[in-house]
Amino acid sequence: MRYPQKIDLHMHTVVSDGTDTPEEILHHVKDVGIELFSITDHDAVKGCVAMQSLLSDGDPLFITGAEFSCKDEGGYYHILGYGYDPQSKPMQDLVAKGHNFRIVKLQKRLDFIKNEFGFTFSDDDIAALRAKDNPGKPHIAKLMIKYGYADSISHAIATYLNQFHTKSEYVRPEESIRAILAAGGVPILAHPAYGRGDEQIFGDAMDKRLRYLMDFGLCGVEAFYSGFSPKIQAEMLAFAQRYDLFVTAGSDYHGQNKLVRLGDTNLPTKSEYPSGLCRFLERLNLIIA
């Protein structure tokens, strides 16, 4: 028995804001030698259900995942859930609530760019956008490129879509954490040092945030992440050790929508795995025979 040697527990498919289908994700995962992976689409489980039907003997280990966008009076949080039952009522209810909030925000964004910049789209294109599982800024940006309003996704988002600021409804962090637990899963704080936009959270502020979320049942932190510096990584590992939290590793791969490579988690070799990661793997029986 041994721990998986290459792990990536944070990636997105076309179900949310990635560009790869579940079939393409599986192909890429095997191509780069990943032994354990998870799909963590935003507020969705459809990609995980599709992946479960694709797997066969000899394929890498897979665990259900999702990433829930949350907000409360203290700020913004992204809560990852792992190992849950995607058919459970708590998870289905959480997904439906997050999806409904996203559809409302989609319409507000469309109204904003129409009123502020005169950007309009055909009824068919808007209907196709609303029919997506979890439409977000990259989907609107691609439509803007199609109509010649922007040159690239980054141009569309930075120049136009990021100017949209309004009060929007979000799932609260305690709702996500409690639903994940009720569905048999493990709630983890995604890329903990990153808040909204360019916000970064360290030191006492991070300590306060973790203790706050732990009161609701948070079980761990994504301490290994493609965007983390060695200093941030070391701080998150220290917090995990201090509070006996699980540790996970993820790239936040989005296919062509981000310049992040699959498997790029900054995770060291298995002989150097921290105890928090080992306990996480053991908790969910993610061991290779």
Q: What percent of the chain has pLDDT over 70?
A: 100
Over 70: is that where the pLDDT of 127 sits?
yes
Joined together, the tokens standing for residue 188 give 């983890």
End-to-end CA distance of the chain: 4
Of 23-37, 47-61, 90-104, the least confident: 90-104
Query: How far apart are the C-alpha atoms of 147 and 160, rounded to whole Å?
Result: 14
In this structure, the number of other CB atoms found within 10 A of the CB of residue 38 comes to 27
In this structure, the number of other CB atoms found within 10 A of the CB of residue 212 comes to 15
Query: How far apart are the C-alpha atoms of 58 and 73, rounded to whole Å?
Result: 46
Q: 9: pLDDT confidence band, cut at 50, 70 and 90? A: very high
Domains of the chain in sequence order: 7-96+177-283 (3.20.20.140), 104-163 (1.10.150)
Mean pLDDT for the stretch of residues 137-147: 94
Over 80: is that where the pLDDT of 198 sits?
no
pLDDT of residue 18: 93
pLDDT of residue 7: 97
pLDDT of residue 188: 98
Q: 192: pLDDT confidence band, cut at 50, 70 and 90? A: very high
pLDDT of residue 242: 98
Tell me what the pLDDT averaged over the chain comes to: 94
pLDDT of residue 270: 67
Over 90: is that where the pLDDT of 133 sits?
no
In this structure, the number of other CB atoms found within 10 A of the CB of residue 181 comes to 18
What's the pLDDT tens digit per position in 211-240? 999 999 999 999 999 999 999 999 999 999
Name which of 15, 9, 18, 16 is nearest 254 in CA terms: 18
Provide the whole-model pTM: 0.90
Beta bridge partners of 84: none
Q: 167: pLDDT confidence band, cut at 50, 70 and 90? A: confident
Q: 195: pLDDT confidence band, cut at 50, 70 and 90? A: confident
